[in-house]
């Protein structure tokens, strides 16, 4: 639904609750620093979607149009790519403001699959496959490669190897839907000859909890990863992206 921007706004009747809440949680929000120059909107591929763009989003915040902020789907079309912040002369972190507005919705009011990806990752990983399936799939794919490609008969995919020099995370998409996509990276690591390991717990590197808007969920999943890697004693944590 497009915004009815042409309507006259009665400033006196607006409470600016959303702005106040943001400024409490993020004192460096500096919403009032906005010069309305529009550099953000010029370079944003989400400009025009749902009748909004980063500059208009900041106007809604500054003026206090809370109802529009709480109902617009634009906050889910903004991909938090931060191209706007990259060019903002006043260093306004628009993406973070969008996340804070996302977080003001109750979990039930959020896009179902977005919240679900995070809920699943909080339990173990973002596709929700059991950890034992991950371990099994890695072993099964490895065995297949070793049998079918004689030149890779000694390929490794170590699991929970204490003290390995490198820890490798794994986006859950691969073991869940395209397990053969794990093999090229194993081959590269083998060729380079590094000592690496996966973990059978908190192995997923998708990190969807950054997106629904609850920082405590994001913190929880990163903390679990950090504890896992430190418990394995690996000095380097490799992200596969």
Q: Which residues are at the interface with other proteins (CB under 8 A)?
A: 45-46, 49-50, 73, 76-83, 86, 95, 111-114, 116-117, 167, 171, 173, 181, 184-185, 187-188, 191-193, 205-212, 215, 218-219, 221-223, 225-226, 229-230, 234-241
Instruction: Name the 3-class secondary structure at 160.
Output: coil
CB of 31 to other proteins, least distance (A): 20
CB of 201 to other proteins, least distance (A): 16
> Which of these, 9, 135, 113, 146, lies nearest to 66 by C-alpha position?
9
C-beta closer to other proteins: residue 150 or 193:
193
Nearer to other proteins, 32 or 230 (CB): 230
Q: What is the DSSP code string of 45-76?
A: TTTTGGG--HHHHHHHHHHT-HHHHHH-GGGG
User: 51, 5 in Cβ contact below 8 A?
Assistant: yes
Q: Which is nearer to other proteins, 34 or 208 (CB)?
A: 208
CB closer to other proteins out of 32 and 191: 191
- How does DSSP classify residue 235? S
Q: How far is the CB of 210 from other proteins (least distance, A)?
A: 4
Rounded to the nearest whole angstrom, what is the least distance from the CB of residue 43 to other proteins in the complex?
A: 8
d(CA 110, CA 76): 9
CA 3 and chain centroid, separation: 28
Least spacing, CB of residue 15 vs other proteins, in Å: 28
User: In whole angstroms, how close is the CB of 152 to other proteins at the nearest point?
Assistant: 10
Main-chain dihedrals φ then ψ at residue 119, nearest 5 degrees: -60, -40
How many whole angstroms separate alpha carbon 180 and alpha carbon 158?
Answer: 16
Instruction: Report the residue number, 63 or 76, with the smaller CB distance to other proteins.
Output: 76
CA distances from 59 to 33, 150, 237 (A): 11, 63, 41
> CA–CA separation, 207 vs 118, rounded Å?
8
Distance (Å, rounded) from C-alpha 131 to C-alpha 16? 45
d(CA 234, CA 167): 6
Which residue, 32 or 144, has its beta carbon nearer to other proteins?
Answer: 144
**CB 12, min distance to other proteins, A:** 34
- Residue number, 11 or 235, with CB nearest to other proteins: 235
């Amino acid at each position: 639904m497009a915004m009815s921007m042409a309507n006259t706004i009665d400033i006196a009747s607006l409470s600016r609750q959303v702005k106040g809440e943001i400024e409490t949680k993020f004192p460096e929000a500096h919403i009032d620093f906005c010069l309305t120059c529009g550099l953000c909107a010029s370079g944003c591929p989400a400009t025009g979607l749902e009748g909004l763009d980063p500059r208009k989003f900041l106007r809604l915040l500054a003026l206090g149009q809370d109802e529009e902020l709480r109902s617009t789907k634009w906050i889910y079309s903004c991909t938090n790519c931060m191209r706007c912040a990259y060019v903002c002369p006043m260093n306004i972190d628009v993406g973070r403001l969008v996340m804070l507005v996302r977080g003001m919705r109750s979990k039930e009011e959020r896009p179902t699959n977005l919240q679900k990806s995070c809920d699943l990752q909080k339990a173990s990983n973002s596709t929700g496959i059991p950890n034992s399936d991950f371990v099994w799939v890695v072993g099964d794919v490895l065995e297949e490669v070793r049998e079918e490609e004689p030149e890779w008969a000694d390929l490794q995919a170590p699991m929970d190897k204490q003290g390995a020099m490198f820890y490798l995370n794994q986006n859950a998409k691969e073991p869940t839907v395209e397990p053969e996509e794990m093999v090229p990276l194993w081959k590269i690591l083998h060729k380079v000859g590094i000592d690496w390991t996966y973990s059978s717990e908190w192995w997923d590197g998708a990190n969807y909890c950054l997106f629904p808007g609850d920082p405590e969920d994001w913190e929880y999943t990163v903390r679990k990863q950090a504890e896992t890697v430190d418990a394995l004693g690996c000095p380097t944590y490799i992200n596969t992206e």
